[in-house]
């Protein structure tokens, strides 16, 4: 699953921000059948069982998966983490409907406290193999260049922060993408101040997104096979 490219993905999240901004400003202002054909005689006797195997036949052995299902996303973060990153948000969050909750699940928290607005998403996607997860990770990075690697997080992790200004209102969003074996974890975290119309600092948003990503990766253990 490819993530929505910026700024489209950010624009989707900013829809409720625009509404809240108005209020904030007011306050401030099958296999082939049949046996295989016999090999022609060569004058040499084949080793027992050699004629029953084809070197080009695909393997039917299943690739072992570290994670078999996505964990409950709304239980992936500690209550203290939710409270610090999204002040005023309910700990339980809101799980986003998914077509297949076995492999893809997302939870969202958002709240407006006085003039400060915060939004946090945590998403899990479990794939059939490490190779598939690696390919998806690289594809996502192509859409989110401009950041940097996050060492010591999963098998690979990348963080990027973007600033968007719309009608004079700034919003800063951080995205952390993590690959851990055959799973991807994606965290998005953004904020706005409706009194100053400024966005939180890059460091605040980046550190908050990475903190949530670390807890979410640890929660992947609940989906082990």
Average pLDDT, the chain: 81
Q: What is the pLDDT of residue 101?
A: 87
C-alpha atoms less than 13 angstroms from C-alpha of 178 in its C-beta half-sphere:
27
The contacts of residue 205 (CB under 8 Å, 6+ apart) are 161, 172, 173, 174, 189, 190, 191, 199
Residue 137 has pLDDT above 80, yes or no: yes
Q: Report DSSP letters for 152-185, one per residue.
A: TSSSEEEEEEEEEEETTEEEEEEEEEEEETTEEE
Q: What is the pLDDT of residue 61?
A: 56
Q: Are 184 and 124 in contact (CB under 8 A)?
A: yes
pLDDT per position as a tens digit, 91-132: 999 999 988 988 999 999 999 999 999 999 999 999 999 999
* Alpha-helical runs (H) found in the chain: 8-28, 79-85, 130-143, 202-219
pLDDT per position as a tens digit, 61-74: 556 789 999 999 99
pLDDT per position as a tens digit, 186-223: 999 999 999 999 999 999 999 999 999 999 999 998 76
C-alpha dihedral over 221, 132, 124, 9, to 10 degrees?
A: 160
- Phi, psi of 130, deg, nearest 5: -60, -35
Domains and CATH numbers, the chain: 67-223 (3.40.1000)
95 exposed, middle or buried (CB, 10 Å; 0-12, 13-18, 19+)? middle
Residue 16 has pLDDT above 80, yes or no: no
- Phi, psi of 81, deg, nearest 5: -65, -45
Residue 51 has pLDDT above 60, yes or no: no
Q: What is the pLDDT of residue 163?
A: 96
pLDDT per position as a tens digit, 20-49: 544 444 444 444 444 444 444 444 344 444
Q: Is the whole-model pTM more than 0.75?
A: no
Selection from 136, 137, 133, 105 nearest residue 121 by Cα: 105
User: Residue range 55-59: average pLDDT?
Assistant: 48
Q: What is the pLDDT of residue 2?
A: 44
């Amino acid at each position: 699953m490819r993530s929505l490219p910026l700024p489209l993905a950010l624009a989707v999240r900013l829809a409720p921000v625009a509404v809240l901004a108005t209020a904030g400003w007011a306050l401030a202002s099958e296999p082939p059948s049949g046996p295989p054909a016999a090999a022609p005689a060569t004058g040499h006797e084949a080793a027992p069982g050699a004629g029953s195997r084809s070197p080009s036949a695909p393997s039917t052995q299943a690739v072992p998966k570290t994670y078999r299902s996505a964990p409950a996303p709304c239980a992936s973060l500690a209550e203290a983490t939710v409270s610090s990153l999204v002040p005023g948000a309910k700990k339980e969050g809101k799980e986003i409907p998914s077509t297949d909750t076995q492999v893809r699940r997302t939870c969202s928290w958002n709240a407006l406290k006085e003039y400060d607005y915060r939004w946090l998403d945590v998403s899990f996607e479990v794939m059939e193999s490490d190779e598939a997860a690696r390919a998806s990770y690289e594809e996502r990075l192509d859409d989110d260049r401009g950041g940097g690697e996050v060492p010591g997080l999963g098998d690979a992790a990348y963080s990027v922060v973007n600033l968007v200004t719309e009608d004079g209102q700034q919003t800063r969003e951080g995205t952390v993408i993590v690959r851990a074996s055959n799973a991807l974890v994606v965290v998005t975290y953004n904020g706005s101040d409706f009194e100053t119309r400024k966005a939180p600092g890059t460091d605040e948003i980046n550190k908050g997104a990475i903190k949530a990503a670390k807890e979410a990766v640890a929660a992947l253990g609940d989906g082990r096979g």
